[in-house]
Amino acid sequence: MAEKATNGALSFPACPTCGQRYEPPGGVTFSRSNKFDLQLSAALINERRLAAIFAAAKIEKIELKSETWQWEQTGNICIEYRQNGSPSGIAVCEADYWVHELRRDGETLCYLMFPLERLKVLARRAHAAGRYRVGGGDGGRFCNVLIPLREILK
């Protein structure tokens, strides 16, 4: 949270990771009567936290899966867990983070980034609720769990 400096401007706390302080550009000041300063401060802390994760190389392995059109028709992301009767996909993934790319007309709309354990929780929940398909994909060789996009933030 920003603190009021002696000159009336807000002084932002130092980043707990790198020790740097945010300096508003061009002498910008923020009013205490507006929530913007609180939101900006929180956003800066969150941004620094994410940057620290990347900078500290805590993400050494990622798994990227791209979906081009079915996610839009079904409202689900599709996570493979078995191929030809053997564990595959999320069941054998050793990545730190799973990144799910949602595409439309050849362009990336967004990347959904999950700590692998969080995605496994969502996948188990979807499977238990019966949201899975056996015999999908190329030649019916895959088993997939379908996670509704609306369930991701629950």
How far apart, in Å, do the first and last CA atoms of the chain sit? 27
Which residues of the chain carry a pLDDT beneath 50? 1-7, 10, 25-33
Measured CA to CA in angstroms, residue 15 lies from 29, 38, 41, 111, 146 at distances of 19, 15, 10, 26, 39
On whether the CB atoms of residues 27 and 8 are closer than 8 A, the answer is no
pLDDT tens profile 42-63:
667 766 776 676 666 566 788 8
